[in-house]
Amino acid sequence: MTKKIPHLVHQGDVLLIEATLSTRAEPIAMTKTVTGQTETVLALGETSGHRHTIISDRIARFRDDGAGYGPRAEFVTLNEPAPIQHLHGTAPTGEHADIALNATTYLVELQSQWSDAMEPIQVVD
């Protein structure tokens, strides 16, 4: 028996893991860029203003609290291949190369650190 290994993509603070979306998933609102394309910001650098983003009109974003991935699990579904980009404004930052993503569903995981109280804290970038 052959088990499929999920596709993993790592860019800075963002880890995307190929996953299956459940029927309980709820859509999350999308935003449009100044060019009219749909931009999905996966992580935003609070101090520098950079962002890890996917710009595509063939993408949907979902939240699924009951998927078994923990509370507030977020997913993106790409209906065509598109890159994850690391941008500041409209320009690449040069810190991370674009990474081509397959047309599939990904679980979105953001890097966390643990406090002394053993509580997760999202990394501030």
Predicted confidence at residue 75, as pLDDT, reads 93
Q: How far is Cα 39 from Cα 64, in angstroms, rounded to an integer?
A: 20
Better-scored residue on pLDDT, 110 or 83: 83
- Mean pLDDT, range 7-32, rounded to an integer: 87
Closest CA to 74 of 97, 52, 96, 99: 52
The pTM (predicted TM-score) of the whole model is 0.81
Does position 123 have pLDDT exceeding 60, yes or no? no
pLDDT in tens, 30-74: 766 656 678 888 988 878 888 899 989 889 999 987 767 776 789
Residue 92 — very low, low, confident or very high, per pLDDT cuts 50/70/90? confident
Cα-Cα-Cα-Cα torsion 77, 81, 87, 89, nearest 10 degrees, comes to -80
User: What pLDDT, on a 0 to 100 scale, did the predictor assign at position 118?
Assistant: 60
* Average pLDDT of the chain to the nearest whole number: 83
Residues whose CB is less than 8 angstroms from the CB of residue 117 and which lie 6 or more positions away in sequence, other chains included: none
* Structure-block tokens of residue 84: 């994850």
CB 60 within 8 A of CB 70: no
